[in-house]
């Protein structure tokens, strides 16, 4: 079977183009996040994967669940969910949402960067890191800070495929590998 990401890509691209044309990135981001969260729930996942439920029923149940979650589907949203249900692709909602966000970030020239540090990083230092990354990458940076004591010391920056690992844990791992070989 084809990889989920490969199957999700055309749907994410279609929604992205629809959102771009309608200048509704924020609305679609919120809708896809809600659908993704619902699709990840174990009981909803079981219903979506059940061969007993007709595609139209699955789409309607998902639309009702969205409304209960505070995200009422408009006609485009209903059509999208119905299309996924008809093609038995509702299980791809998390991948579609993730791919959509990647396309949106490229279009808006933004990048979400995760800063994982062993010790608290002051706000001014986080700003300096964000500014330096903006200068280096030429994109608007959204910095997300996470504290992780298992790093021992140092920090790790993750920005898409770019990983800058300056953690003590990584340095100890490299030292261990060098000593073993």
- Exposed e or buried b per residue across 17-49, where buried means at least 16 C-beta atoms within 10 angstroms of its C-beta: eebeeeeebeebbebbbbbbbbbeeeebeebbe
- Residue with the bigger pLDDT between 169 and 3: it is 3
Total domains present in the chain: 2
Q: Is residue 115 domain-shared with residue 169, that is, in the same domain?
A: yes
Q: Is residue 97 domain-shared with residue 37, that is, in the same domain?
A: yes
Q: Is residue 126 domain-shared with residue 83, that is, in the same domain?
A: no
Domain, as residue range, for 152: 111-180
Q: Give the tens place of pLDDT for each residue, 94-133.
A: 999 999 999 999 899 999 999 999 899 999 999 999 999 8
**3 state DSSP class of 89:** coil
Q: Is residue 170 domain-shared with residue 121, that is, in the same domain?
A: yes
Residue 70 has pLDDT above 60, yes or no: yes
Q: Is residue 87 domain-shared with residue 146, that is, in the same domain?
A: no
78, 47 contact by CB (below 8 A): no
Share of the chain above pLDDT 70, in %: 99
Residue 1 has pLDDT above 60, yes or no: no
pTM above threshold 0.85: no
The token duo for 73 is 């589907």
92, 7 contact by CB (below 8 A): yes
**Domain end marker among 105, 125, 153:** 105
């Amino acid at each position: 079977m084809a990889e989920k990401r490969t199957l999700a890509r055309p749907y994410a691209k279609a929604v992205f183009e629809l959102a771009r044309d309608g200048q509704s990135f924020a609305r679609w981001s919120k809708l896809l996040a809600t659908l993704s969260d619902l699709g990840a729930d174990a009981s909803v996942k079981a219903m979506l994967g059940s061969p007993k439920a007709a595609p139209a029923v699955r789409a309607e149940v998902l639309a009702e669940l969205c409304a209960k979650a505070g995200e009422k589907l408009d006609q485009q949203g209903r059509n999208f969910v119905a299309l996924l249900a008809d093609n038995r692709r509702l299980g791809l909602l998390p991948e579609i949402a993730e791919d959509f966000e990647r396309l949106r970030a490229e279009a808006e020239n933004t990048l979400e960067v995760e800063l994982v540090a062993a010790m608290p990083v002051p706000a001014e230092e986080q700003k300096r890191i964000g500014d330096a990354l903006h200068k280096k990458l030429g994109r608007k940076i959204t910095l997300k800070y996470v504290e992780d004591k298992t790093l021992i010391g140092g920090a790790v920056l993750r920005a898409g495929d770019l990983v800058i690992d300056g953690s003590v844990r990584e340095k100890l791992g490299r030292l261990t590998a060098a000593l073993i070989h």
